[in-house]
Structure 1
Amino acid sequence: MNFTMTADQRELQAAARDFARAELPAIATELERDNKPPSHDLVRRYAEMGFLGINVPSELGGLGLGNLEALIVLEEFAKISSAVAFPIFESSVGPVRAIELFAPESLKRRVVPAVCRGEMVVAVSMSEPDAGSALTDLKTKAVVQGDKVIVNGTKRWCSGGGHADAYLVYCRLSDEPGARSIGAVLVEKGAPGLTFGPNEQLMGFRGIPSSDLYFDNCEIPAENIVVPAGGFKKLMEAFDLERCGNATMALGQASGALEDVCVYVQERKQFGKPIAEFQAVQLKLAEMQMKVDAARLLIWRAASNAQDGLPSVLDSSLGKCFANTIAREVTGDALQLMGAYGYSKDFPMERRLRDSWGWGIAGGAIDIQKTNIAAAMLGRRFDQRR
């Protein structure tokens, strides 16, 4: 077991940190204000800097590095804001990896390199009005008709809805009950029969627009079937990596908050001295540091144990559950230490707090991760319906 980053990993981390701190804070403020996603120009800039598809094989346009390297970079961007980090998330640990692993060769080679070049953004669309935590209750149906697939249904809470270039849509591809009929198709923006609901107004995640997706006899090529019916287990295995990405986005809110508040408490003076001199502040800082380090170690363990494959459900759920929980606590404590400055929208702290609550809901709520953990511990699945 090695707890030290390699020289190459440290160099990559420094490059990501320097770029993010120098160029992204003002952009993050704009995205928060306007609730708009990063521009295509910015995403292409990420690609030019080598920050997209870090763990995607080089033959598909990525850097060919490991999952750990991707998560190291993701945290540095997430420290600035969730919105500026989201293209990194989508290209390294999101739906693009499912396409890379499971899609037909022609689709894979058309989509994945385009994402790594910053020319295409792909979002995942899983939830529905009546299927969130109970994902196998989804109703969206895709019917193969010759060389075409006809999709009907409604998707909800799609981060990227309305602005992404394509969507990995979980749907039913046969009449088998439960998970046995579930697979996934890629629906590109502009496909006949695809429309979008209004932009959701959420507590946080501004700059990561979310909307409903409506499929009304939506027509796509049959080659856009990424995972056929019966492939739900494959999809969820790929989603174990996305859990690590979600956990890292939450971690970034906490570690960014901790870095900022450490500067603040040494500059802010009350009663004639910096507030860092007060023992109560020192104790709170120590608690925050312990939580951040523990979350990072759990996430990195999940990535390392997978040896650049897909993490286990146990490791990924442990990392996500803990990081989601401590992010809310650490950002809350940091906001309290900064007082009115933390509560003000002129500073990023309150945004981090709001986003931290979102990461504990997105991608599987905290309590769902706990049921995953218990199931993995005991070697069985628990039927929540009975």
Structure 2
Amino acid sequence: MDFRLSEDQRELQEAARRFAQGELVDLAREMEEKDIQVPAEMMRRYGELGFLGVNLPERYGGLGLGHLEALLVLEQFAIVSNAVAFPVFEALVGPVRTVERFGSDALKAAIIPQVTAGEATVAVSMSEPEAGTALTDLTTHAALDGDHFVLNGSKRWTSGAGHARYYVVYTRLSDAPGAKGIGALLVDREWEGVSFGKREELMGFRGIATRDITFEDVRVPKDNLVVGAGGFGKLMSAFGLERCGNATQSLGLAAGALEQAKAYVQERKAFGKPIVDFQAVQLRLAEMAMQVEAARLLIYRAAANAAHQDGGLPSVYESSVAKCFANEIVRSVTANGLQVMGGYGYHKDYGMEQRVRDGFAWGIAGGTTDVQRINIAAALIGRRFDQRS
């Protein structure tokens, strides 16, 4: 078992790091201050450099590499900020992968090249006012009318809403109860009947727009069917990779906090010497490093083992372990980073307090840490647990 990255992987990782550290630091600060998205010209730059297609097929403009390579790139962006990393997250591990895995050849050919070129983004629209963790309670529905589906309903907590061009919308496609009636359609924001609510004011996640979406008699071409009724299990199967991406966003925050804290404690002096010479600071740094390294190894394991799984996606067990652990340690690592930096850590100009705020989001988004624990227990026992009984 070799834990070392290959030369090609190291080169890709270093290319992503050079770009992120060299071109995105000031942009990340502006996005945090103004709560704006990655500008269109920078999105195209992401695309030109291949960062939006690392693990997408070459025939659609991707690089055709593996999931581990995709996560190596995502981590380097997330070290700068989750906001500058979010388009990479959406393209490499998010809803684009659902289109690539389950969409028709025509739909893939129409959408994925736009994503890899940085010309369009795809968001996922799942949750509703009364359907979050209990996603099979969703009520958004679409009825077939000739060569179109007519879509109606409301969605909550859609990250990228209003900014993304396309949306993978989870919806009922039949009257079958529970998961049996659920599938997904790809919806264009430009279509008549699609509207967006106000920008949500969140604790963190500035630079990542979150809004409600309302669909009123939206006519969706049959060709935009991603997964038909009864395909809820297929949709969930693609979430193993999304969990790894979520975990990597957490990892990037934590790794960035460790880097910043390590630099600070060697520069900051107290009682005539750098504060890193004090044992209390050393213990905090060591704890931060252990947590970052452990999270990284869990994520890498899930991604590397995906090649041996059915469908080439990370397993529920390994991706849930990685997500839950990374979601929890990022809160601890960033808090320790804030503590060792003292007043500077608490000051908005230095970025550590932003890492703390952003860090809490990932343990809520994409399935809470408690849901991940249920996934883990179910995998250990070998059966799903009925949460309704």
1:109 matched residue in structure 2: 109
What does residue range 1-386 of structure 1 map to in structure 2 within 5 Å? 1-307=1-307, 309-386=312-389
Letter aligned with residue 292 of structure 2: V
Letter aligned with residue 351 of structure 2: P
Residue 348 of structure 2 aligns to a residue whose secondary structure is: coil
Shift of 1:384: 0.7
Long gaps (5+) in structure 2: none
Letter aligned with residue 220 of structure 2: I
Residue 307 of structure 1 aligns to a residue whose secondary structure is: helix
The alignment's TM-score, normalised by the length of structure 1, stands at 0.99
Residue 320 of structure 2 aligns to a residue whose secondary structure is: helix
Letter aligned with residue 327 of structure 2: N
Residue 346 of structure 1 aligns to a residue whose secondary structure is: helix
CA deviation digits over 1:256-311, x for unaligned, max 9? 00001000000000111000000111111111100000000001100011118111
- Separation (CA, whole Å) in 2 of partners of 1:353 and 1:264: 17
- Separation (CA, whole Å) in 2 of partners of 1:243 and 1:133: 15
Shift of 1:117: 0.7
Long gaps (5+) in structure 1: none
Letter aligned with residue 330 of structure 2: A
Letter aligned with residue 147 of structure 1: D
- Separation (CA, whole Å) in 2 of partners of 1:34 and 1:124: 24
Letter aligned with residue 315 of structure 2: S
Shift of 1:192: 1.1
- Separation (CA, whole Å) in 2 of partners of 1:237 and 1:44: 30
Shift of 1:37: 0.9
- Separation (CA, whole Å) in 2 of partners of 1:345 and 1:180: 48
Letter aligned with residue 187 of structure 1: V
| Root-mean-square deviation (Å) | 0.7
Shift of 1:79: 0.4
CA deviation digits over 1:83-120, x for unaligned, max 9? 00011101100000110010011111100111001111
Letter aligned with residue 367 of structure 2: G
- Separation (CA, whole Å) in 2 of partners of 1:274 and 1:103: 57
- Separation (CA, whole Å) in 1 of partners of 2:33 and 2:144: 43
Letter aligned with residue 381 of structure 2: L
Residue 151 of structure 1 aligns to a residue whose secondary structure is: strand
Q: Which structure 1 residue ranges, 4+ long, deviate > 6 Å from structure 2?
A: none
Letter aligned with residue 321 of structure 2: L
- Separation (CA, whole Å) in 2 of partners of 1:39 and 1:204: 19
- Separation (CA, whole Å) in 2 of partners of 1:325 and 1:258: 15
- Separation (CA, whole Å) in 2 of partners of 1:216 and 1:167: 15
- Separation (CA, whole Å) in 2 of partners of 1:10 and 1:247: 20
Residue 211 of structure 1 aligns to a residue whose secondary structure is: strand
Letter aligned with residue 388 of structure 2: R
Residue 364 of structure 1 aligns to a residue whose secondary structure is: coil
CA deviation digits over 1:52-89, x for unaligned, max 9? 11000111110000000000000000000000001110
The alignment's TM-score, normalised by the length of structure 2, stands at 0.98
Residue 142 of structure 1 aligns to a residue whose secondary structure is: strand
Worse-matched range after superposition: 219-228 or 300-309: 300-309
- Separation (CA, whole Å) in 2 of partners of 1:103 and 1:136: 21
Residue 4 of structure 2 aligns to a residue whose secondary structure is: coil
- Separation (CA, whole Å) in 2 of partners of 1:30 and 1:228: 41
- Separation (CA, whole Å) in 2 of partners of 1:39 and 1:174: 39
CA deviation digits over 1:12-67, x for unaligned, max 9? 11110011001111100111111111011111000111111100011111000000
Shift of 1:161: 0.7
